Structure 1
């Protein structure tokens, strides 16, 4: 009986044929992990602004969880001495109001709705702007004219009066709906700015090559155009979130929005009505919500500036090169130790 070469060598040709696709798939998954997860995290974490921004925003997320799970006393059940100052009593670290209500409880129980509101408003504004700006800039022609005419119409409507009319008419209590209402027309200017950038990007060689090869329009927009817009989109996402926070606090302070939900603007309104603006003993009543607003705004700005580097191709390429060189050094060191 004749034996094949594989039988003589004891090698199973079927195992070799099945191992090659496994290696290729493993390498592909590793490449996706390096490009989509590890390198962006390294770039983001290398910037101190990202670390401080995550720390600050994480603190507000922790406060929201405390409120959701009821880990702190509710404002309606907190009764303490009136006008306690900051850190005068550690059971009430932010002090108390004229009625003895815990200011820390007011700030904490306002945080969940604030975070939902700013997230919904920012997602709405940037999402609509990216969709309209990219489609108008890439398609051109009548599509561009129609979308930009609609954007110009929205920009011509006064934003604040429109928000006040919608708020009074709809009387929204859902923070997600309220965030969308506040940023109902914010997307128009951003969409026109994105459209002007897309007009430049669509002339690049790689976009022309994709179009020549018959790649679908949604895939070209998603793979070739939107990644180049992400630094600008990230910054404007933060701006949109801050605008929702400031506008909602102002509208609650003015009494335009209903007081059915606790909000930092409501706390400011009660503090002003209680004479906190003219009394040093009640100044902390105004100071506590103002510090909460400033802290969240600072955290969003730092996080947005740090994330801007993640979408910078030069920084990502440099960090990827350093990561690969480090990995090769580790492999060489391990090989030397084995030898």
Structure 2
């Protein structure tokens, strides 16, 4: 019962995320030019335009396909960058100890207390050429500190384990100790950190794009919402313009959150105990119903 509960949660999350990724990868190859202008402006969904058109007659479905690809690229880049920074300041600092760990920990705490959204807006406003890499770097800089503290705490606990101490006494290379003895035990936490960073990236990019600080020259869900707002889609009743990107953000966030919850239940003993106790209650109640 416990395993099936975890499987349901993770399978639903993975299914949603995989479908969105497939749409972002394959979709742009089967749609028209998202910038092509049709004579039908603000047209509702039809067989010709599955999700209608924008105020200037551009196909919303084509824009959604390209925007999905752009947003997913940003999410993956931010997840990778944030995970690297978390590993650098959390794992390496925690294993090294001494003054290096103190410096890394101090810097992490300073970054952690800085407000993420205002910092993101300030940095984004000073960046002139807002490409995907630069926007991803801005988002990654504001999303790694909390995960670094978690990884540092786990590393401090693992480095005092018997097998790690034995490897150090045997003269093993520190790189090998980290990659072979410590890193495998951190994979669930790092996976959760990567998923959290992706969620932050998708929402953060949408927020930056909505206020005019998003990626220039690349379609994203946030840019679609910004263009819909500037085109007064809500006032004109063009729900098909702002609805699809908003729904995609919500669906991807839900899918990643379900995956993150499933990972938390695997690495958190308290959650495992709670769900095991709940499963036992369900089994007992089902047995009573069968007997009755």
Q: Same fold (TM over 0.5)?
A: yes
The verdict on how the C-alpha distance between 1:274 and 1:263 changes in structure 2, with shifts beyond 3 A counting, is same
Q: What is the distance in 2 between the residues matched to 1:90 and 1:307?
A: 41
The answer to whether the Cα contact below 8 Å between 2:206 and 2:214 also exists between their aligned partners in 1 is no
The answer to whether the Cα contact below 8 Å between 2:69 and 2:220 also exists between their aligned partners in 1 is no
Match of 1:193 among 150, 156, 177: 150
Match of 2:239 among 283, 298, 315: 283
Match of 1:82 among 28, 31, 41: 41
The answer to whether the Cα contact below 8 Å between 1:56 and 1:295 also exists between their aligned partners in 2 is yes
Task: State the 1:117 CA deviation.
Answer: 0.7
Match of 1:72 among 24, 28, 31: 31
Match of 1:52 among 1, 8, 12: 12
SS state at 2:191 partner: helix
**Structure 2, unpaired ranges of 5+:** 273-292
Q: What is the distance in 2 between the residues matched to 1:197 and 1:245?
A: 27
**TM-score, normalised by the number of residues in structure 1:** 0.70
Matching residue of 2:248: 292
Q: What is the distance in 2 between the residues matched to 1:225 and 1:258?
A: 37
Tell me the alpha carbon deviations over residues 292-317 of structure 1, each in whole angstroms, 9 at most, x when there is no partner: 1112222223344456688899x9xx
Match of 1:240 among 194, 197, 221: 197
Matching residue of 2:137: 180
Q: What is the distance in 2 between the residues matched to 1:274 and 1:78?
A: 15
Pairing 1:132-171 to 2, within 5 Å after superposition: 132-171=89-128
Matching residue of 1:213: 170
**TM-score, normalised by the number of residues in structure 2:** 0.80
Task: State the 1:158 CA deviation.
Answer: 3.8
Q: What is the distance in 2 between the residues matched to 1:258 and 1:176?
A: 9
1:62 aligns with 2:22: yes
- When the two chains are superposed, the root-mean-square deviation of aligned CA atoms in Å is 2.8
Q: What is the distance in 2 between the residues matched to 1:59 and 1:171?
A: 34
Q: What is the distance in 1 between the residues matched to 2:17 and 2:48?
A: 24
Tell me the alpha carbon deviations over residues 246-268 of structure 1, each in whole angstroms, 9 at most, x when there is no partner: 01111111112354222222221
**Structure 1, unpaired ranges of 5+:** 1-42, 316-339
- Deviant stretches of 4+, over 6 Å: 308-313
